[in-house]
Amino acid sequence: MTLRPFRFAVQTGPFQDPIALRTFAQQIEALGYNELFSFDHIGMRGNAAVDPFVPLLIAAEATTTLRVGPLVLNNEFHHPALLARTAISVDQMTSGRLVLGLGTGYAQVEHDAIGMRLLPPGQRVSRFAESLQIVRSLCDNGSCSYSGEYHTVGVEEMGIRPTQEHIPFLIGGHGKRVVGLAGRHADIFQFTGLLHAEDGTPSAGGFPFDQIQQRAQWLADAAGDRDADIERSSLAQLTALDADAPDDNTLIERYKMDADEIAKTPFVLVGSTEQVVDKIERLREQLGISHYVVRDPEGFAPIVEALARR
């Protein structure tokens, strides 16, 4: 297993306030974060329905090295040819700093809100597989001829090219078929930890370490010769350091897991700075995870500083 240097990203921000967003992007870049991610939701209580791409242009314009992207797009909302056009345009406008996060979509409430049918899981994955091929071809080659069950595309020439030679795909998921697609198409694979019921209701069912090991093996098997090219990532569901760290009983009650499993999972990063640094280094040895996405950039900054260039 290739041990990559650690990288850190943020998924949060004042995406509805351009002035505040510029300042926020500059602050997280100064703290050592590599990327800023948005999200792709609509009609879901507690989630602002901001466009997943537009705020990223402002964040990129305000910074010099910060990479930006959606984490992750709901594939059901996007036609792959039109998505490729948007992705290439955003890559141009951000001087080649786009990371394209992609997922199958999952929430019934979001689809109900816009009158769109939510396909069953198997069909969503099949449609996702087609979309990945089409978007990759259009981004890399500027053309695509494809006829499948869900999409028929005949684009001879996009007329635009991305600034970077290869727009990286970040694919998040937990099912074996999605992990397999990541093995074939992802530049970054993200372990998410959350499982979703038929209607999209999330739970921490994917937190146990043995399940993550299984997904890591699925990924390696599907990737084959390109395994070393895939960066492993974790979307942390809770980060808290030192005095802010909850005690074991609170965590056990919250996640319905014993303390040993919580101590091993990459989705809960709590404890002293030294404890969290040790855990992250251990997880890189065990699972190859070197990329972490968090939602408390200031609180997690001591970890970023401690692991910079390691």
Give pLDDT, residue 162.
98
Q: Are strands 73-74 and 100-103 parallel, antiparallel or unpaired?
A: parallel
Give pLDDT, residue 2.
73
Determine contact, residues 163/92, Cβ cutoff 8 Å: yes
- Of 106, 116, 269, nearest to 172 by C-alpha is 106
Give pLDDT, residue 203.
62
Q: Which residues have a Cβ under 8 Å from the Cβ of 31 and sit 6 or more positions away?
A: 297, 298, 301, 304, 305
- Domains of the chain, with CATH numbers? 7-307 (3.20.20.30)
Determine contact, residues 13/60, Cβ cutoff 8 Å: no
Torsion of CA 271, 29, 37, 53, to 10 degrees: 170
pTM for the whole structure: 0.95
- Of 95, 113, 103, 111, nearest to 56 by C-alpha is 95
All residue ranges of the chain with pLDDT < 50 are: none
* Helix, strand, coil percent content, the chain, rounded in steps of 5: 45, 20, 35
202's tokens? 């999330």
